[in-house]
Structure 1
Amino acid sequence: MICTKIFLSLGLVAPILAQSNYTFPDGFDLNQVESTTKSGWCRGQLNNCPPVCGGSAKVNRCDSETLEFTCTCSNGTEARVEDYQGTIPFYVCEANYEQCISHSSTQDGDDKCIAGKEECGSKNASAPTTTSSSPTSSTTLSSETSSSPNGDQSGNDATATDSSDSSTPTDGAMSLMQNCGLAGFATVVVAAFTLL
């Protein structure tokens, strides 16, 4: 019973710990970005994470409301997506430039905005690489539950999975790890041993 509580606790904490370390630039107002635009940005982030990782991402998530994302490569390292076009940091950088210019009233202010834009990612994630990839990657686009003006609640979750044609004996375990995390996997392992 104690093990189950520990695993459940880990399951609640792990997604929080897995979030990216990216923070919005000073002055950026997320509320000025349309929800359809944010969804498009998340699609771009999800599409560009695997190539940034050399072809395969272990964890690839993006929340289309908050723009919080996770891009963890198959070797367990966080991808440095800030350097690449078509990622959340790139889109935010571009939008921050537009917001900055619209609020600027002096040449010095414009120069600061332009200097900020020069920090936007410039690498192409789909450029050819020589890194090999593993057969499975998973991406998840999610939207927090929100209330509409008439009080209805709605939530959107979209998941896309790309797998190669050949399966391996670890595909089931990897799928469980990707969808449920370490806590879910550990719970299944403990349950299997108790049945023996």
Structure 2
Amino acid sequence: MRSTFILSLLAAAGLSFAQEQYTIDPESVSKSDRQTWCDNQETQCPLICLQLPGVNTMNTISNDCDPDALTFNCVCSNNVTPNVTQYSQTLPYYICTEWGNQCVKACGTDNICSNECRADHPCGAQHPSPPNSSISSTMPATGTATGGNKPPVTGFGGAAATTAAGGKGAASAMLNLGQSYGLAVVFAGVFAGFAIIL
């Protein structure tokens, strides 16, 4: 019986994974959690819209969420519905995460099954889109941009982190300086503590 349930759950997951949509029974989650999920979805919608080209306002055409049915609408001011599955703190993210929790619970003590629930069905951004291209007009030119005039999306500082003298940017140098002084303060505190005790 349990293996039939797990197989049907994994088969359904395979179909929903291909569509990047997961479904759960809304009643399997507390009403307060579902309301929080919807509140977060409605908060994220305008912020996600700002990532779309040509959108420079947080006004939306549609932004609502139903915690009873676990459905939502997010339509940006440019009449585009963004792919909110690529973001955390959205309803699809919470549903996907809860789907994983329920899958793991159904696996019981089978660690391989539990691992497959999460590893084969990740939630959130797997291939995030680069930020709105209008950002490049407000950012100073620092090094070579990738993909035309778009800023790189490879972490903090991007290309700018390696353009200063010696291959290290100012932010990197300040971080190293802060780490050194922080460590010195910790050691001084430890030694002062021992001095007071003795």
TM class, shorter-length: 0.3 to 0.5
Task: Please identify which structure carries the higher strand content.
Answer: 1
Instruction: Flag the structure with higher helix content.
Output: 2
TM normalised by structure 1 equals 0.48
Tell me: higher relative CO, structure 1 or 2? Use CA pairs within 8 A at least 6 residues apart: 1
